[in-house]
A and B are shown apart, each in its own frame.
Chain A
Amino acid sequence: MSSELPRTLEQYRHAVRAHELSAEEYLGETRQLIERGDPQVKAFLHLRLDAARSDAQAADPSSPLAGAPIAVKDNIMMAGERCTCGSRILEHYVAPYSATVVQSLLAAGAVVPGKTNLDEFAMGSSTENSAFFPTHNPADLSRVPGGSSGGSTAAVAAGFALGAIGSDTGGSVRQPAAFCGVVGFKPTYGLVSRYGLVAFGSSLDCIGPIARSVRDAAIMMNVMAAHDPKDATSVKRPHVDFEAALQPTLAGKRVGIIRELQGLDVQPEIAAAMETTRKAAVKSGASIVEVSVPHILSALPVYYIIAPAECSANLGRFDGVRYGLHEDGRDMTETYSRTRNTGFGTEVKRRILIGAFVLSAGYYDAYYKKAASVRQLITDELDAALQSADVLLTPTTPTTAFKLGAVTDPLEMYKADVFTIPADLAGAPAISFPAGKDTAGLPVGLQLMGPRWSDADVLSCANVLFTALGGES
């Protein structure tokens, strides 16, 4: 084996194909990193390293992923493995089938070292809402990795996997990617199958790749993007080779800056990274345009009506009868409520209650229906803005990773999602890519968003900026 381990999936694949490295050797190195580092980072809820070793031995070096370790968020099912969603209510639940994306990754030669930690049912922005334990940020163990896919992003940042998958409902792939200094991509709604993802907000949920480079995310998307007859929201589209579509420059591209976000309070280093990246975009051939999305700041309140409403409906299935925890009561009603009260954590209960409230008679029009209309308004405004810009550049988060336990107010926690939520509401593709560090050495992430189905273009533009800022090509 060569003395230096590959840092990216692309380098790994190259080394394996050149017979400088085998999948089994690389997994052995990964295993050591996990055994040494994960007791502190706590990225994984369950490991399957022995099974992964057999999978690595059997991996075909010429397959697209060539036996690379790819971690899976524990709300995405893998047959025969537990799928807890970070919740007591599913603590002992074993998935009876694999999600379509997991099947696709395995068929492409991925090896799954384990299932990663998350905020319970993907509700949270710090992974502190996991019923089992919080995950720590590999860049600074006293800080959160972000959430809800914090286990997946921490695993990739710590070298426990070359890539990972997460789910993004309000920013749950991009926000933790920014906090951990990795790439996180939320594809267009309908591009990647959600069959086998435990549903949270069905009009928002997307599965996306988490990677060390933008190119690696494109490589993973080549495997993950496909129409799936098992997911009725999956859309048939012409095949795109996301890796081949990566362009060397931003020549002719218009990078939009959103006027209404200019006044927002962001950490000075993040504002500085925006400035540096704007300059890098111009140097790479892009023009900068200012666009207006007048109601973009209403995205956050819209989300915190729509997402809880959908969650209250989706989580109705956890009733102590069909799967998971069962707490006996005197009758069925008491059995349901006892099971759910024991099985769900505080944030999940809070969101179910908000959802039940905004959907209930007397409040539906003022809350849910209003939010659905404002969602349409924001989507229309974003569509209009993306007529005069090819991509929109924003910070991914207002701050870098905060300390574990530092944000205890749920409303303050929600505000960490202000930049990521608009893409979810519009079903649009968006990526977070590393853009330097703050004065404490914590990763800064910036976001590019594009029109629906411009995934290849968003990845390409992000790749140019990421590499211009010193990232791996």
Chain B
Amino acid sequence: MGMIIDKETLEHVASLARLEITPEEEGPLLGDLERILGYVAQLGSVDTSAIVRKRPAMTELRPDEPGEGLTREAGLGGAPAMRDGFVVVRNVMGGEDE
């Protein structure tokens, strides 16, 4: 059987997951992932052609009414950088940060 995951696929998946993989991590990770994915791939031999996937029980949404909740300060209190009640991020549209 061929390899399930190669270096290029790992790099692609890591970029999708916004994870930087260091060159030292790459080898061991590839080995682990190959074995884990090889193990879970055994499901391919289970016949699921007759399976009807049931939807989970309907969740009940509460009425969309204003109520007690977190204050803006409490909600944003964990952000690493804040200004005037907003989180601060790098300029996402290109150009210099303020």
- Which residues of chain A come closer than 8 Å to B29, judged between CB atoms? 349-350, 353
Q: What are the residues of chain B within 8 A of A314 when measuring CB–CB?
A: none
Are B17 and A370 touching (Cβ within 8 A)? Answer: no
Contact A357 B33, CB 8 Å, known A341-B20, A372-B53, A377-B46: yes
On whether the beta carbons of B13 and A356 are closer than 8 Å, the reply is yes
Q: What does DSSP make chain A's interface, helix, strand, loop or mixed?
A: helix
Within 8 A of B (CB), among A330-373: 331-333, 335-338, 340-341, 344, 346, 349-350, 352-358, 360, 366-367, 370-373
List chain A residues, Cβ under 8 A from B51.
373-374, 376-377, 380
A320 to B79 Cα, complex, angstroms: 8
Q: Which residue of A lies closest to B69 (CB)?
A: A97
Give A411 to B32 CA distance when docked, in angstroms: 8
Q: Which of chain B's residues have a CB closer than 8 A to the CB of A304?
A: 36, 39-40
B52 to chain A minimum Cβ distance, whole angstroms, is: 7
Interface residues on A, range: 35 or more
Which residue on B lies nearest to A302, using beta carbons?
B43
Q: Which of A229, A329, A338, A356 contacts B17 (CB under 8 A)?
A: A356
Q: Is A93 a contact partner of B78 (Cβ separation < 8 A)?
A: yes
Cβ of A410 and Cβ of B87 under 8 Å apart? Answer: no
Residues of B within 8 A of A94 (CB): 77-78
Asked if B70 and A301 sit within 8 Å, CB to CB, the answer is: no
Q: Known contacts being A97-B74, A340-B18, A353-B17, is A322 close to B79, with CB within 8 Å?
A: yes
Known: A96-B75, A337-B19, A350-B29. A321 touches B80 (CB 8 A): yes
CB distance from B57 to the nearest CB of A (A): 7
Bound: A452/B36 CA distance, A: 30
**Minimum C-beta distance from B48 to chain A (A):** 4
Chain A residues with Cβ below 8 Å from B5 are: 357
B1 at the interface (CB under 8 A from A): no
- B98 close to A (CB within 8 Å): no
Q: How far is the CA of A233 from the CA of B89 in the complex (A)?
A: 33
Inter-chain CA distance A402–B42, complex, in Å, is 27
Q: What chain B residues lie within 8 Å of A236 (beta carbons)?
A: 60
Q: Across the interface, which residues of B come within 8 angstroms of A329, CB to CB? A: 90
Indicate whether B44 reaches chain A with its CB closer than 8 angstroms: yes
Can you sample 11 A-B contacts with CB below 8 Å? A320-B80, A321-B80, A321-B89, A322-B87, A323-B80, A337-B20, A354-B36, A372-B53, A373-B48, A380-B51, A410-B36
Closest 10 CB pairs of A and B: A326-B80, A323-B78, A373-B48, A301-B40, A341-B20, A232-B59, A356-B17, A336-B18, A96-B74, A337-B20
Given contacts A305-B43, A333-B18, 6 further A-B contacts (CB under 8 A): A321-B80, A338-B20, A353-B17, A356-B16, A372-B53, A374-B43
